[in-house]
Structure 1
């Protein structure tokens, strides 16, 4: 095989040889869907978040600004065994799907600012993959239900995963935090600019 053909073959398959068996397993189980040379991954919710936040407008922007806002998370039966030992952690990361986000945009005008920013430099929900993360306080676990507080998720948010918050892993002192250094406003609230039904200024 010529050098050019080898390069094309390598480019067409982004998975290394040692990962081929694992990728084949994921495909057979339905977790991965192949589309030509591109790979599309399927995600399945493990539960649903029920919170008192019904609308984007007026909602807290981050868990730091959502102190005392409570929610109940229902974990689907097939995943409840995975909750073992989680109650020993004070905080957990929720990874979820922005189910009410509008079409993906690479430039957005984020909360706390009036300038267009690259979406990856923001936490706007209108992302190529609308996945959100929130570090919430775990109050208790009863059966398949988790009771949490400091929640910034809207009601009926699909939950994709849970991970324990570990200070030794997750807390880093930093000297730079981008455009937010000058724009941060702890009193800021969300609005409907990123809702699927919202009428917003056309952005790139």
Structure 2
């Protein structure tokens, strides 16, 4: 899929939002990609996962034992990546603020893991989820994401393969442009912000 075809999928799902958004990273943006909306159509989710799997080098695809994604945002695309790669897919979640395995999920010692995210901005959630995988005995080989919002600056410590890079500007709370500073921010994601 080309970048234009990928963005057309987001537009068709009304998943490219415009306004004033407070991202889970704590930064502000005038645009927000609601991946849950683009993934609610199972055919579309499957197409995007197949395209994302196609970004991986062939040798890496064959080395993967397990797909892991962080809840909540990565669960659907993680599941679809598992299907596209023919590998089991599980997720980590943070009921007390730190990612952990629950629901009977286990990672065999030495298992080769592909981390799957919906959107990466700063990479903090990804790195924290990788820490949980490593603590459980897995080896993270790489990460994929539907969207890279980091402007190419994210360092995850492993190879990173986004489906598309979208570089909408983001702002720290003290650097908001006037048109955003004058409107209340909406928190559209699944994770609430700490005060």
TM-score > 0.5 by shorter chain: no
Greater Rg by CA? 1
| TM-score, normalised by the number of residues in structure 2 | 0.22
| TM-score, normalised by the number of residues in structure 1 | 0.21
Would you tell me which structure has more helix in proportion to its own residues?
Answer: 2
More contact order relative to length (CA 8 Å, sep ≥ 6): 1
